[in-house]
Amino acid sequence: MSHTSCQLFLASGSPRRAELLRQIGVNFTRVRIDVPEALAPEESPEQYVTRLARTKAEAGWRALECAGANQVVLGADTLGVLDGQLLEKPQGQAHAAQLLRAMSGRSHTVMTAVALTNGASTDVALVRTQVLFRELSDSEIAQYWHTGEPVDKAGGYGIQGLGAVFVREIRGSYSNVVGLPLETTAPLLSKYNVPFWLGRE
């Protein structure tokens, strides 16, 4: 294995993924991509999230101006599943309320797929976490919408923010629910010679 450190590029606009990478001391540069997100016919949620992560990483690699041997791109996608249905980003207040009512008092699954590519090879890992919500009242759901937090979150809540008050229990990786399972991402970074735990300025 080469001891030359590789430069990481993040093919994601998610502020939460960026913060998680910074949390474990990873230096990275964002790369802009445009990947359509639409479920294909007969595609399972697992297949969908895995395909999107791989497609984002590979699109990020193609977007590099002069991709070289010491460059690696990370792509990721996170989604929630309840009763086999995707928990998508809410399309308005009524949709957000519908999502949160469906999760109230029940457990749902959050899946994140993480893909790393160096142009020659690509690795993809899929992580699942069970999240149990307490019973939510209609007034809480309405108040939560007006905080603005649910708007851009899959499932209409953010566990790392105000939505933490809804979560009774999680089984599995917490960082996975935020958007990047660090316990799975770190070994992948090591495999591709991307250092973490770097000193902070």
Domain 7-191 CATH (choose: 3.40.640.10, 3.30.70.100, 3.90.950.10, 3.40.50.620): 3.90.950.10
To 5 degrees, how large is the angle CA 115–CA 37–CA 39? Answer: 100
Structural domain spans, the chain: 7-191
Confidence of residue 197 (pLDDT cuts 50, 70, 90): very high
Q: What is the pLDDT of residue 66?
A: 78
Q: What is the pLDDT of residue 200?
A: 57
Helices and strands (H and E) in the chain: how many: 6, 7
Confidence of residue 110 (pLDDT cuts 50, 70, 90): very high
Task: Taking residues 34-38, report their average pLDDT.
Answer: 93
Would you name the residues annotated as active-site residues? 77
Classify strands 167-171 and 122-133 as parallel, antiparallel or unpaired. Answer: antiparallel
Lookup: tokens for 180:
């990047």
Confidence of residue 22 (pLDDT cuts 50, 70, 90): very high
Alpha-carbon distance of 151 to 149, in angstroms, equals 6
What does pTM read for this prediction?
0.93
Q: What is the pLDDT of residue 53?
A: 98
Q: What is the pLDDT of residue 34?
A: 95
Alpha-carbon distance of 109 to 97, in angstroms, equals 18
Q: What is the pLDDT of residue 4?
A: 81
Confidence of residue 52 (pLDDT cuts 50, 70, 90): very high
Alpha-carbon distance of 131 to 108, in angstroms, equals 5
Q: What is the pLDDT of residue 3?
A: 61
Whether residue 2 has pLDDT greater than 60: no
Tens of pLDDT, residue by residue over 123-173, are 999 999 999 999 999 999 999 999 999 998 989 999 999 999 999 999 999
Q: What is the pLDDT of residue 68?
A: 80
If one compares 5 and 9, the residue with the highest pLDDT of the two is 9
DSSP category for residue 196: -
